[in-house]
Amino acid sequence: MTAQRVIVLIGADADPTVALNSGGGIPTDQRDGSTVTVIALRAPTGNEPYSFHTITSGTSLVDKISHALGLAALGQVLQNSSPGRLINSLNPLDQSRVFSRAVRRDPKATQLIAGATLVVAVDMPAVRAAWFARHSGAVPRAVFTLAAAREVLAAG
């Protein structure tokens, strides 16, 4: 079996250890040189067997303007209905947009993704970043959820 370089994206602003443990983790055969790197907004609180890269979302000009216009408060109100969530997904402060911008602005994160064989979006805020990685041609495969990643890795 060939070595896999797996990148796990966790876009929620929460402890990544919880997301990794609740999803069962990613089994890789490290004897063949396979590696797993987690890119998240926060450092883990537990002792994980994966390498971590913590990015900061920072504040881009878009983020600053959106906050000044009160779009964050509007986004919270819109989260209470299906049409509101659809409208909110167009908001520049949508979690997936913020995380995706943060990943693209972080040179280390983009370097790690460029060398990966598989990108895994663990949560909804990470989906947009995984989608951009796949459709930019940076990685050959991108999946949503740790279960899907295990299936892909098991299939070879």
- Look at the chain and report how many structural domains it folds into: 1
Average pLDDT, the chain: 83
**Residue 78 belongs to some domain of the structure:** no
Asked if residue 70 is part of any domain, the answer here is: no
pLDDT of residue 69: 76
State how far Cα 86 lies from the chain centre: 20
User: Cα–Cα distance between 34 and 51 in angstroms, integer?
Assistant: 12
| Residue 89 covered by a domain | no
23: pLDDT confidence band, cut at 50, 70 and 90? low
Question: Does 63 fall in a domain?
Answer: no
Contact criterion met (CB below 8 Å) for 129 and 103: yes
Confidence (pLDDT) at 2 = 77
Q: Residue 110 contacts by C-beta under 8 Å, 6 or more apart in sequence?
A: 103, 104, 138
Which is it for strands 118-121 and 5-10: parallel, antiparallel or unpaired? Answer: parallel
Higher pLDDT, residue 84 or 8:
8
Tell me how far apart the alpha carbons of residues 57 and 143 are, in angstroms, rounded to a whole number: 22
| Eight-class DSSP state of 38 | E
Q: Assign residue 104 the CATH number of its domain.
A: 3.40.50
Q: Which domain holds residue 114?
A: 5-57+94-155
The pLDDT tens digits of the residues spanning 27-65 come to: 666 657 788 899 998 888 877 778 899 987 566 677 677
Residue 79 in domain: no
Closest CA to 21 of 54, 48, 53: 48
pTM score of the predicted model: 0.83
**Does a structural domain hold residue 66?**
no
CA distance 137 to 116: 11
On whether residue 52 sits in a domain, the answer given is yes
Note whether residue 39 is domain-resident. yes
